[in-house]
Chains A and B, each alone.
Chain A
Amino acid sequence: MTSDSRLEKILEEGHFAVTSECGPPRGVGPEVIQKKGEILKGVVDSVNVTDNQTSVVRMSSWSAGVLLKQMGINPVYQMVTRDRNRIAIQSDILGAASLGINTILCLSGDHQKFGDHEAAANVYDLDSIHLIQTVKLMRDDKKFLGGDELKGEPRMFIGAAANPFADPFEFRVVRLAKKINAGAQFIQTQCIFNIERFKKWMEMVRDRGLHEKAHILGGVTPLKSIGMAKYIKNMVPGMDVPDELIERIKGVEKEKRAEEGIKICIETIQQVREIEGVHGVHIMAIEWEEMVPRIADEAGLLPRPAAQ
Chain B
Amino acid sequence: MRLSYPVNIKIIKVPCTGKVDVLYLLKMFQNGADGVFVAGCMEGDCHFLTGNLRAKKRVEYVRRILDETGIGGERIAMYNMSAAQATRFVEAAREMTERIRELGPSPVKKIMEEVG
Q: Is there any pair of Cβ atoms, one from A and one from B, under 8 angstroms apart in the complex? A: no
Mark B residues whose CB is within 8 Å of A.
none
Mark A residues whose CB is within 8 Å of B.
none
